[in-house]
Amino acid sequence: MVDYVGQPCFGCHAVFTKDDDIVVCPECGTPYHRDCYRAAGACTNTALHETGTSWQAEKKAEIAAQKRIEKQQEIERQQAERERGDVAASVQPELYDGVRLNPDDPCVGLDPAENMDGVSVKEMAAFIASNQFYYLPLFRLMQRTGKKISFNLLSLFCPHLYFANRKMWAMTIVTILVNLVLTIPSMMLLMQKMNLAISVDVTTVAFTRILDLSQLISMVFSFVCCMFSNYLYYRFARKQITRIKGQAKSEQQLYQTLHEAGGTSLTNMICAVIIESATMFTLMIALMFFL
């Protein structure tokens, strides 16, 4: 049964209350006060009679349209608050800038043609290849707000493995070398405990300070990698996609190359571990011979 309370009478336009005597047109369902309908002598909602539609259907459509408007306004309000940092990003996590994210969609519900600093969402999704549900909204937020900092757990402990997994070989080598240099004092201390011949006295105050400083710098470096790895990956992805787009001769070739160049690689991670182990072994041998 239709609840007419709060709706206007089509005759006098006054809002119905629960105590009003309400009648409806038997043909279109338009509501009136009984006295208003009696005074008019017949239903005056000629538009509905001419189109053959009903007042109930029209009202339902109006209510649905109003709800859509209110929902969009609420989404826009939450979006503005998120971008200003007024509320936590976890508010309605299934919504992102008015889009209901879909983990089963390669573009996670975002517009495939949307531009992300010169590349489309579809191209970025093809290059990422895995975990788009995490990266696409994050990259979109970075592009819209200029945000660069985000948390990456793997990069906190093993940044070289993260970069290798995402095929960022330049950053892989850089992180391996930086960590290798910062490990030298700890390695010398370990060699001394293993009774391996080195000429450096690891018991001095100066060496202890160098050891503490190297460990502090190592922690800071890991923290920086943790905070900026996702942004570095975003820049790397954009650069690679732009390069591939300039070389591809067809759309099919473009997406095939994106899939091959992007994604993740367990083989790369294994290679990174081998490279790290080989360089550490080489450094240890060098320390034994030159110290």
Do 136 and 161 lie in a common domain? Answer: no
Virtual CA dihedral for 246, 241, 165, 142, nearest 10 degrees?
Answer: 160
Amino acid 91: pLDDT = 41
Same domain, 228 and 140: no
Cβ within 8 Å of residue 280, ≥6 positions away: 180, 183, 187
Q: Is residue 115 part of a domain?
A: yes
- Say whether both 238 and 121 belong to one domain: no
pLDDT value at residue 255: 93
pLDDT in the model for residue 203: 85
- pLDDT in the model for residue 193: 82
HSE-CB for 278 with a 13 A CA cutoff: 7
Phi and psi for 200 in degrees, rounded to 5? -85, 135
Q: Which residues contact 163 (CB under 8 A, 6 or more apart)?
A: 155, 169, 171, 172, 175, 229, 232, 272
User: What's the confidence (pLDDT) of residue 86?
Assistant: 54
- Tens-of-pLDDT digits for all 291 residues of the chain? 467 888 889 889 898 888 889 898 988 888 999 999 999 888 988 888 888 878 776 777 777 777 778 777 776 776 676 666 654 444 444 545 556 777 778 888 888 998 999 999 999 999 999 999 999 999 999 998 899 999 999 999 999 999 999 999 999 999 999 999 999 999 888 888 888 767 778 789 999 999 999 999 999 999 999 999 999 999 999 999 999 999 999 999 999 999 999 999 999 999 999 999 999 999 888 887 776
Tell me: do 187 and 250 sit in the same domain.
Answer: yes
Domain hosting 204: range is 153-290
Residue 164: what pLDDT? 97
Tell whether 284 is covered by a domain: yes
Looking at the fold, whether 138 and 10 belong to one and the same domain comes out as no
Q: What does the DSSP assignment read for the chain?
A: ----TTSBPTTT-PBP-TTS-EEE-TTT--EEEHHHHHHHSS---HHHHHHT--HHHHHHHHHHHHHHHHHHHHHHHHHHHHHHTSS-TTSSTTEETTEE--TTSTTTTS-TT-EETTEEHHHHHHHH-S-HHHHHHHHHHHHHH-------HHHHH-HHHHHHHTT-HHHHHHHHHHHHHHHHHHHHHHHHHTT------TTSHHHHHHHHHHHHHHHHHHHHHHHHHHHHHHHHHHHHHHHHHHH-SSHHHHHHHHHHHSS--HHHHHHHHHHHHHHHHHHHHHHHHH-
Q: Are residues 139 and 163 in the same domain?
A: no
Residue 256, C-beta contacts closer than 8 angstroms, at least 6 positions apart: none
Question: What pLDDT does residue 291 have?
Answer: 65
Q: Is residue 223 part of a domain?
A: yes
The whole-model pTM stands at: 0.65
Task: Give pLDDT, residue 209.
Answer: 95
Tell me which residue of 147, 152, 156 sits closest to 89, measured CA to CA: 147
Query: Are 120 and 227 within one domain?
Result: no
